[in-house]
Structure 1
Amino acid sequence: MTTITPQFAQFDAEALYQVLEAKVKAALAQADNVAVIGIYSGGAWIAERLVAALNLNPAERLGFIDVSFYRDDFSEKGLRADIKPTQIPFDVDDATILLVDDVLYTGRTTRAAINELFDYGRPKKIMLAALIDRGERDLPVAADFIADAVSLQPGQSLQLQRADDGSFTLIIQSNA
């Protein structure tokens, strides 16, 4: 686990993505009926790249999910202005689903995504990939694939950003 101190403001997100991609490709090489669903927004960006790396047809095997209405803390957080529609263009039943998020933290987003996913059908298997695992879970959720685990200072969060060329940057933000 990497401990982040305030003087470091940025990760090599591209190197982290390469680590995650290699783990996912190795594990899913023999899987059948694979589909990838990215959690908006950072997970959706990573999912787009993973679908290409897995040589899957994005029109048929890539979906996106917005968990806003499925979160158990919806009444506390309220409705975000940037809600996007969930798009799952494939049959979820009996599929091996790779659910992708950028940062795994409390587990609440993952729980909400799984709840929403089951509204679309019953997958054969759901696997979770995250670029970064922050730990400190509120729920018993674990990723199958992570690039790195980090510990942040209180009041800090991570934000994945995507440039126009598709490259990633991961920055630490102070929430104070």
Structure 2
Amino acid sequence: MRIGQGIDFHQLVEGRKLWIGGIDIPHDKGSLGHSDADVLLHAICDALLGALALGDIGTHFPDTSDEFKDIDSKILLQRSFQLIKDRGYKVVNIDATLCLQAPKIKNYVEAMRKTIASLIETDIHNISIKATTTEQMGFVGREEGLTAQAVALLQRDE
């Protein structure tokens, strides 16, 4: 068994969509980034890659490459997962935490879990997504950005 941890941060700006967990969430601000800037999927990619010491998302999908400009982060997660599969591993579970002041994401969590589970070929019950705020403190509290952390447990696929 192998465990990996991932973390990601993105600035929130007007004029961008807010993609979290592969779901387009209605909001007046969206995440700024080279790709679609899905903070949750990026943290999960890093957790998966880290579990097998394969570097990070920037190593595999650099933000200096036109190939990844505005790419759907679901594709990045699929490619990260393929690297895991190629090495003979499967996902046991993912535990993730989002930190954002707004919007409330409770109504989107099940769709996120379903999307992520399908992308990494596991049961929805193996995907946990929680959310918290910073009680209006710091850049998250001022709604300038958001962050996500994820832990992935992998097991050799027999």
Q: TM-score, normalised by structure 1?
A: 0.32
Q: Higher relative contact order at CA 8 Å, sep ≥6: structure 1 or structure 2?
A: 2
| Structure holding more helix per residue | 2
When normalised by structure 2's length, the TM-score is 0.35
Larger radius of gyration: 1
